[in-house]
Structure 1
């Protein structure tokens, strides 16, 4: 084969051709590349790259799928409907469905309605506002319509003007609080504001939107009041009994004593086994501290004579009761001119005017600038109440609420309450 042919075939990459070509002068020319070997190597590299790329693609796609899926789910959960947020679904029968680790951080800056006017619990909303840390302390309030329950309880928060706010009534039978509203303070104190007891406005609301279940109107009003008081007696650490005026409200006191008797047999934490509470038998006589707050007193009624008269009346009426009604509040701590006695009932007087100030005859050292000072003294003494001891005091806020829901069911199904209702019907029918 001529040298030109060998050079051409070698350059074309024919297998077996010479690795060198010959120039015009007959001398061998230096060949820089073996194109045949190079093309084979490139083909092998492309095959390896394709196979390796497929493996890498398989490995790289899977993690993207795993990592992106939770992001999509979080975006969907982050945009619930505003209606569901403001009015979460209520449930009384399944409070245990919500797992604590799935809840959002507790919200202590707003009012949460935990029970509506038809006695349905809003479990989801309540559990979002409560914590899973050990310990709980509950302050509830009861009273008739217009007594000032919400105003007094608002003073126990860090923002009294914007806590349990009161709007002007649109008609005489209106009541401001429906069901039970809850507020958790910065100190993790649970405040419970309840709808009025012994109230005709609650009865009117039920007649308009609900049913009395065949119970006469007067009996229904008293029965629902007993349900509310029994519930607070079972779940609270301190209860403020707010009445209007300087004189003790005997109707409220009698209803309170009756509710205490009917509460017998209701366990403190019905969902928790006794061994976890460190008990061998259930404690049926656990009582909260009862504090009587006489609100809207005139300046002339803020005197020792009126105070002593109320103390004597409370002692005579409550002496045969198992309620805890003395030893927590001392009115003399707020107004030193009043007699100090540790055996006196938990009685506190509040003036009608918010800008209350003592008479000029009172010594300057005893003067208070406004009603804020009285409410601050009341708040500090209530918050100083003794907490539950042992394992009972370690129950978390969320567990307390779950047990509270069960407690209300037990109250509605109580045999003592059913017998009491039958007795009232027999008396009414003659």
Structure 2
């Protein structure tokens, strides 16, 4: 019992309460600590030395930080735009290869293009062998009109004279005079060749029956007009027999597919496509143009090419189609009659009625004020809508004879120089539509698109399937 009482007494003793430190005591101690911490430090100022110049004084860290950070973003954008405008590019003196002899894409023309220019015109030409494709592009490339243009075209087909054995047996004085005449003639011919940028066929090529241009030649004029001269399409001279590539029954089909790919490629990268013929009318040539348009793949994947310019992509599923100019070279007197013009336009209108190529672009031989509002001078006085029908992109160039300067002969058409001048301003004045889905595409951006487009066309299965159906 005594033990129980002791336990009860011990349990009855009260426990000590826990005393917490109040906030008041803490607040009383804080001012003392703050007062000790907030004592102002003693700053010792050093006087400037008069001997140290101003340039050798150390710069403040704030100014150094501003220099490292650079200028504002707006100023950076302005400097980049100025650098783009100040970019220098080379001027072409002669054409370069866009596609070489093996139809491989060549990047040699990239350094001649301007990345800050989006106002350019791309003109391509297609045709069979010897129809005058290079001559047509030479007429368009002429910035300065030539008075003796017809004579220079006639002289371009001649071969430079070579000294014969009889000339070597002349006396020393006569031989010196002959050598001077030969050198003067050679210099004159070299000057004539400089006026024409694209090489044209001379009598040697004509006699051998071979083509002159291989692949696609590219030339950029000072007016930023990009001219593309392609090889002769569907020409047997393109089939070269070598040890590594013998001629087989399939060689003609391979050549046909290669030419169709070139024609489709020019339709994809050009604003204006000139189809040149030297007689009316080559039905196979018209059929090949239709086939090339049919087999041309959609280049929407190639349109998303990485360009250096800052522009948002324009979302459009519409494919661009070039302006097609049907040009007849070496036309005769009867080809300029209103009846002949009506027959030509009626045939082409029916042949391309389901085509997406633009045939009503204003490159006419006479005006049609009722439909399109164009008012241009007629090539001949007898050309009108009633006699020739509604106009389309058709142009006729006459054949140049040796007696072209004889005014007594009735030609039935204006002079060749006047027609060449008319052809040039019609092509250069055509509407420059958007080739790709990227708006305001620069010249270098267009060149990158050309590379992607050729790669897409070469890998397109449509042409391989078309070759299977060829005989």
TM bin, normalised by shorter chain, reads: 0.5 to 0.7
Is the counterpart of residue 153 in structure 1 residue 137 in structure 2? yes
Q: What secondary structure sits across from 1:156 in the alignment?
A: helix
Partner of 1:217: 251
Aligned to 2:335: 301
SS in 2 for 1:113: strand
Structure 1 residue ranges without an equivalent (≥5): 1-99
Q: What do you get for the CA RMSD once the two structures are aligned? A: 3.1
Counterpart position of 2:95? 111
> Is 2:112 the partner of 1:129?
yes
Which residue, 395, 408, 416 being the options, matches 1:348?
395
Q: Does 1:239 align with 2:222?
A: no
Deviations along 1:290-313, one digit per CA (max 9) or x if unpaired, are 000010111232221211110110
State the TM-score, normalizing by the size of structure 2: 0.61
SS at match of 1:350: strand
**Runs of at least 4 residues of structure 1 off by over 6 A?**
212-215, 356-362
Q: How does 1:17-416 map to 2 (within 5 A)?
A: 105-123=89-107, 125-135=108-118, 136-158=120-142, 161-168=195-202, 169-170=204-205, 172-204=208-240, 207-208=241-242, 211=245, 216-245=250-279, 247-267=280-300, 269-272=302-305, 276=311, 278-283=313-318, 285-332=319-366, 333=377, 335-341=379-385, 343-353=390-400, 355=404, 368=414, 370-388=415-433, 392-416=438-462
Write the distance in 2 (CA, Å) between the matches of 1:371 and 1:209. Answer: 46
State the alpha-carbon separation in 2 of the partners of residues 251 and 413 from structure 1: 25
Deviation, 1:277, is 5.5
TM-score norm. by structure 1 comes to 0.66
Higher relative contact order (CA 8 A, sep 6+): 2
Alignment partners' CA distance in 2, 1:393 and 1:151: 33
1:255 and 1:391 map into 2 onto residues whose CA distance is 27
8 Å CA contact 1:141–1:192 kept in 2: the answer is yes
Q: CA deviation at 1:344?
A: 2.3
Structure 1 range deviating more: 375-384 or 215-224: 215-224
Unaligned runs of 5+ in 2: 1-83, 144-148, 150-194, 367-376
The whole-number CA distance in structure 2 between the counterparts of 1:268 and 1:344 is 36
Secondary structure of 1:388's counterpart equals coil
Contact 1:115 1:180 in 2 (8 A): yes
> For the Cα contact (< 8 Å) 2:96–2:217, is it kept in 1?
yes
1:387–1:393 Cα contact (<8 Å) kept: no
Q: How many residues align?
A: 317
- C-alpha contact 1:269 1:400 (8 A) present in aligned 2: no
Aligned residue in 1 for 2:464: 418
1:394 match: secondary structure = coil
Deviations 1:348-394, CA, capped at 9 Å, x for gaps: 011111648888779xxx973x3121011011111111112597451
